A and B are shown apart, each in its own frame.
Chain A
Amino acid sequence: MRRPHDLTNLTLLLAGALAVASLLPMADARAQGGPKFLSDDPLTREPETQDASNVQEWEIGLASDLVANLFGKPGDLTVNLRAQNANTIDEVPDSSWFTNRIYARALSAAEIAGGPTTASGPAPGKWTLIRPKSAGVAPGFTVRDEEGQVWFLTFDPRGYPVAPTAAILVASRLFWALGYNQVESHISTIRPENVVIDPSATVRAHGKRRPFTIRDLDEVFDRSARNPDGSYRVQAGRALPGRPVGGFKYYGTRPDDPNDVVPHEHRRELRALQVFGAWTNLVDMKAGNTLDVVITEGGRGIVRHYLQDVGSTFGTGALAPRDGDEGYEYIYEGGPTWKRFITFGFAVPRWATIDYEEHPEIGRFEGDAFEPELWRPRVPVAALAHARADDTLWAALRVMAFTDDHIRAAVETGAYTDPAAVELLTSILIKRRDRIGRVYFAKINPLTKFALDESGMLTFENPSVLAKLSEPPAKGYEALWSRFDNATRASQPIGAPTSGQSGRLEAPSDLPRADGTFIKVSLNAVEPEHPAWAKPVDVYFRRAGGAWKLVGVERMNGEG
């Protein structure tokens, strides 16, 4: 027997469904029919309007993060979605996550070598140990120098000098230039007799916190590589300004940060780590190697996001050269595991037969057999799984913007003791850079740097041709010109398509020139070797103040 309130609930459900159904078409029409470009497009700075002072520290467990990413599929499962923080010209606005540097502007080799550094390393004299190292396997601890500055020290492990600390330095310069927030790192030396233990320093061991003692300090030095003169080489990372509140996940948003509204798997700069990670072999890409810090800007608390530890790069891990499979296979991958299981190992993985360049100060790294699309971090990363061709092109443009001199300048910051290591690492990074350009510029129409001048001349660049990775398209470029109604999003062709062999195409003579007018140019390249280039990139200009302003670039129109 049905009770009365059951019927009432049923009625409410029906009515609610009716209401939602009746409003859906309206919402859809309004969404589709609204203006495509808003007055402030393209956005150059992602606004952070809310006070995030109350964000609380959280700890993302290593094991739970690993299991969730290795055996689950965290985050949004919808595939082929456009990056949600990309602006209308397919770029990433500056934000608390990312700052446009290389490719967006000219960077000198000296700037790259300087990276995030603002001053010299730790002040000489006595260093006071205030905390043991709580994360990661490399030996280290936190000190305060005589000027009161706090530094996180990381040592090379015993028997494996230079490589781990050098990798941190070099990688932090590269990732800084790429646009990520980085810790200011220096190479320094330390002598045990110059370390004083702060009486308040404690260490957590076996479920309890106890005072940090000289024996604990001895253990750190015992585990570390010692120089012939008794000193120890360290990487010193300057403590970040602000209040650390733990790392960030590569999916979802932080529940207590009001400004964090774009799911991390849909942030382009995080998706792009598929390319940047491949270039540098940043295999240890986990939440535990990131850090969020609350800073105060304009009277409000803002969470700034750091790729804090980019040390497991090139050919090295924190304690030893990387294993053969790192960069090629997740630490657990069902398909290859079963293949090897049933074939007695005769399904030989690719990584087992590749020739590495091995150097004691670099580890195992190579550039000749590098396949960026096949590259993998140790554990799946949700944001990387969402990377589309427009995301990887965006990233590849930045990698390709590094000149040989840029790369060498970054590598030289590693303070390698063997000059051959500098040469080797530089040459491998150059090879991998070029391979990235070759692969990702071919996956999608890569035309970029669009401009329409007053004479009606459209200029653009083909980065693949510019980098001499491919010949100019055999049959040139073709442009279909349209008047674009921003309100209705309807296009109306103007004249016949124009074409040309170079990155300069003339607009039809009857191009409208009234202020507020929008023009859409669908631009493609006809080159049999690059079928992806045949799909046009849609470029939008708005007439304002007597000039054409680029307001839109769509590379994957109709996809997500």
Chain B
Amino acid sequence: MLFGVWGRVARPEVVRAAAACLLSAGIVSLTSVPAVAQDTRAAQIAEKQAAKAATLEPYRPTRFEAVMNALEQSFASPPSGFYPAFGSVYSGGGLTLGAGFRQFYGRKAVFDVMGLYSIKNYKKIEVGTRTPWNFDGRWTFGARAGWLDAPQIGFYGVGMAADADDRANFRIKQGYAGAMASFEPTRWTRLEADVAFEDYNTEEGLGRAPSIETRFDGITAPGLGADPAYIRTQGTAAIDWRRSPGYSRTGGYYGVTLRNYDDVDETYSFRQLEGHLIQHLPILRENWVISVRGRVQTTLDDDDVVPYFLLPSLGSGRTLRAYSTGRFRDRHSILTTAEFRWIPSRLALDMALFYDAGKVTRDRADLDFNGLESNWGIGARFHGPTATVLRIEAARGSDGWHLVFSTNAAF
């Protein structure tokens, strides 16, 4: 075998190739020790520069750099055109993906068409526009219209006594169109007005739970079978000094919202008032943050009939987190939350231990801190400077454990 190899080496073309290799290797080695070729330091450097001049090449971004540059531009100033959409059709709809087309115009204004679809077969299409910079940047206007279909929304009955085993599902198909205006008199104050036409159609629910009409009637589920259409008007006055509603470690929000649902058939008209307080209290330069929230929702006129699907409710990834969406519904609600947050990475990761407590009541006089349903839990929030990208939480309440996956801040 060995002789065989050397026999091939001895062939003339192989010898020539080996000699060329030896020669070239020798040249490379010699030029790699220019110290002996030059007698001044400047000449040594000049030789290196001359060598580089002979092999100059233009800069070409690596594939990694090209991808990152494209992402950076897309985030900094998203281009007009198609885009992947993430969001929610209706609370409790599960993982939702979609696509949209947007066209930017004017000054940071955008026209947007979007479609969403969830793993629970919830779907929505919406067209809208938003112009955030008007009259010295203090006014924002917007308009949107759309249609959604949420086929398996849970209903457990009215009041705190509602049993998890009594779950029934209902379906809502809703068309809507509306406009909004927001005014910021000062940096921390905000006034908002919103008017919309909302046309609700309720149908038999899908999914594993039985449909609502098989378990509930018009007494236990007010407005069951009704398909009201509303002119909804809404006004909010708020002080908001958080860094961003999407993610904040400091500041607070103190707002009041009045909603007027005016049924075009004048059967199910009602008004709701909501007060909402949020406070973030940083400790040791935001090494920890205590975040607290209080929210009260109340139906103003006792004689008004509020359809079961528009009653104030608790239970969801943003209220009582160990309970399914709409687990508790009634004419009034109170919700309190306290979070102990610690910040492993200020760039991207918050952790939190949280405690939520709240209740719904038939009478406003019962809006107190007695008999609250509660849960506790732990969560991780992946965030940017002003937005929560992913919130994963495990919450434990009297219904057991509940996992929350969300792309929004809890509050």
- Are the CB atoms of A15 and B22 closer together than 8 Å? yes
Q: How far is the CB of B137 from chain A (nearest CB, A)?
A: 5
Which residue among A46, A206, A216, A325 has the maximum number of chain B CB atoms within 10 Å of its CB? A206
Q: Are B8 and A338 interface neighbours, CB within 8 A?
A: no
Instruction: Point out the residues of chain A lying under 8 angstroms from B21, CB to CB.
Output: 12, 15-16, 19
Q: How far is the CB of B96 from chain A (nearest CB, A)?
A: 25
Determine if B344 is an interface residue (Cβ-Cβ < 8 Å).
yes
Q: Enumerate chain A residues within 8 angstroms of B363, measured Cβ to Cβ.
A: none
Measured between beta carbons, the chain B residues less than 8 angstroms from A4 are 8
B107 to A62, Cβ gap below 8 A? Answer: no
Whether a CB of chain A sits under 8 angstroms from the CB of B365 is no
Query: A476-505 toward B: CB 8 Å interface, digit per residue (1/0)?
Result: 000000000000000000000000000000
Asked if B42 contacts A40 (CB within 8 A), the reply is: yes
| Interface residue? B264 (CB, 8 A) | no
**Interfacial chain A residues near B33, Cβ < 8 Å:** 27, 30-31
Segment of A276-284, A343-351, A407-415, A430-438 engaged in the interface with chain B: A343-351
Q: Are A332 and B347 in contact (CB under 8 A)?
A: yes
Q: Which residues of A sit under 8 angstroms from B78, Cβ to Cβ?
A: 206-207
Given known pairs A23-B26, A41-B41, A345-B287, the reply for A258 and B56 (CB within 8 Å) is yes
Distance in angstroms between the alpha carbons of A160 and B78 in the assembled complex? 28
Known interface pairs A261-B49, A340-B344. Does A34 touch B65 (Cβ–Cβ under 8 Å)?
A: no
Which A residue's beta carbon lies closest to that of B28?
A: A20
Across-interface contacts of A116 in B (CB, < 8 A): none
Question: Total A-B residue pairs with C-beta atoms closer than 8 Å?
Answer: 195
B208 within 8 Å of A (CB atoms): no
User: Is B386 close to A, CB under 8 A?
Assistant: no
**Does B288 have its Cβ within 8 Å of any Cβ on chain A?**
yes
Candidates A41, A47, A255, A349; contact of B57 at CB < 8 Å: A255
Which residues of chain A are near B39, meaning CB under 8 Å? 35, 38-39
| A11, B137: Cα distance in complex, Å | 75
Q: Is A106 in the interface zone, CB < 8 Å from B?
A: no
- Among the 9-residue stretches A53-61, A120-128, A232-240, A467-475, the one with 4 or more Cβ atoms under 8 Å from chain B is A53-61
Q: Given the complex of chains A and B, what is the CA–CA distance between A332 and B33 in angstroms?
A: 42
Q: What separation, in Å, do the CA atoms of A443 and B28 have in the docked complex?
A: 40
Check: B219 CB closer than 8 A to any chain A CB. no
Q: A27-B29, A31-B33 are in contact. Are A219 and B345 (CB under 8 A)?
A: no
Closest residue on chain B to residue A70 by CB atoms: B347
Q: Is A296 an interface residue (CB 8 A)?
A: no
Given contacts A16-B25, A19-B21, A261-B45, contact A208 B136 (CB under 8 A): no
Let me know if A61 and B72 touch, CB within 8 A. Answer: yes
**A24 at the B interface (CB under 8 A):** yes
Q: How far is the CA of A357 from the CA of B184 in the complex (A)?
A: 33
User: Which residues of the partner chain B approach A331 to less than 8 Å between Cβ atoms?
Assistant: 346-347
With CB as the reference atom, state the residue of chain B lying closest to A351: B285
Say yes or no: is B18 at the interface (Cβ < 8 Å to chain A).
yes
Residues 197-208 of B, flagged 1 when their CB comes within 8 A of A and 0 if not, give 000000000000
Evaluate contact between B346 and A39: CB separation under 8 angstroms.
Answer: no
- Residues from chain B with Cβ under 8 Å of A54 in the complex: 56
What's the Cα separation between A40 and B52 when bound, in Å?
A: 23
Residues of B within 8 A of A338 (CB): 344
**A324 near B285 (CB under 8 angstroms)?**
yes
Number of residues from A at the complex interface, CB < 8 A: 76
Say if the beta carbon of B58 comes within 8 Å of chain A.
yes
Taking a contact as CB atoms closer than 8 A, the residue among B14, B79, B285, B345 that contacts A206 in the complex is B79
Q: Is B119 an interface residue (CB 8 A)?
A: no
Interface assignment of B5: CB less than 8 Å from any CB of chain A:
yes
B162 near A: Cβ within 8 Å?
A: no
A119 at the interface (CB under 8 A from B): no
| Residues of B40-72 whose CB lies within 8 A of A | 40-42, 44-46, 48-50, 52-53, 56-59, 61, 64-65, 68-69, 71-72
**Chain A 195-218 near chain B by CB (<8 Å), digits 1 or 0:** 000000000111110000001101
Determine whether the beta carbon of B52 is less than 8 Å from that of A50: yes
**In this complex, what residue of A is CB-closest to B42?**
A47
Taking CB atoms and an 8 Å cut-off, the chain A residues in 99-146 that contact chain B are: none
Contact status B287-A19, CB under 8 Å: no
Specify which chain A residues have a CB less than 8 angstroms from the CB of B40 in the assembled complex.
38-40
A205 and B65 contact, Cβ closer than 8 Å, known pairs A39-B39, A56-B59, A255-B58: no
B9 within 8 A of A: yes
Contacts of B72 in A (CB 8 A): 61-64
In the complex, which residues of chain A have a beta carbon less than 8 angstroms from the beta carbon of B348?
332
Residue numbers in B under 8 Å from A16 (CB-CB) = 18, 21-22, 25
Q: Is the CB of A34 within 8 A of B58?
A: no
- Answer whether residue B104 sits at the interface, using C-beta atoms and an 8 A cutoff: yes
Tell me whether A79 is interfacial, beta carbon within 8 Å.
Answer: no
Bound-complex Cα distance A34 to B41 (A): 13
A1 / chain B contacts, CB cutoff of 8 Å: none
User: Are the C-beta atoms of B14 and A8 separated by less than 8 Å?
Assistant: yes
Q: Are B8 and A64 in contact (CB under 8 A)?
A: no
Q: What is the distance, in angstroms, from B7's C-beta to the closest C-beta of chain A?
A: 10
In the complex formed, the residue of A with least CB distance to B282 is: A324
Which residues of chain A in 67-120 are interfacial with respect to chain B, using CB atoms and an 8 Å cutoff? Answer: 67-68, 87-88
A285 to B397, CA, bound (A): 48
Contacts beyond the supplied A16-B22, A63-B69: 18 A-B pairs with Cβ under 8 Å: A15-B17, A20-B29, A26-B29, A31-B33, A40-B41, A50-B50, A61-B65, A61-B68, A205-B104, A206-B104, A219-B107, A219-B137, A255-B57, A332-B345, A332-B348, A341-B349, A341-B351, A344-B353
The contact sample of 8 A-B pairs, CB cut-off 8 A, is: A16-B25, A30-B35, A206-B79, A207-B80, A215-B133, A258-B56, A332-B345, A349-B287
Nearest 5 interchain pairs by C-beta:
A207-B79, A345-B342, A324-B285, A64-B68, A258-B53
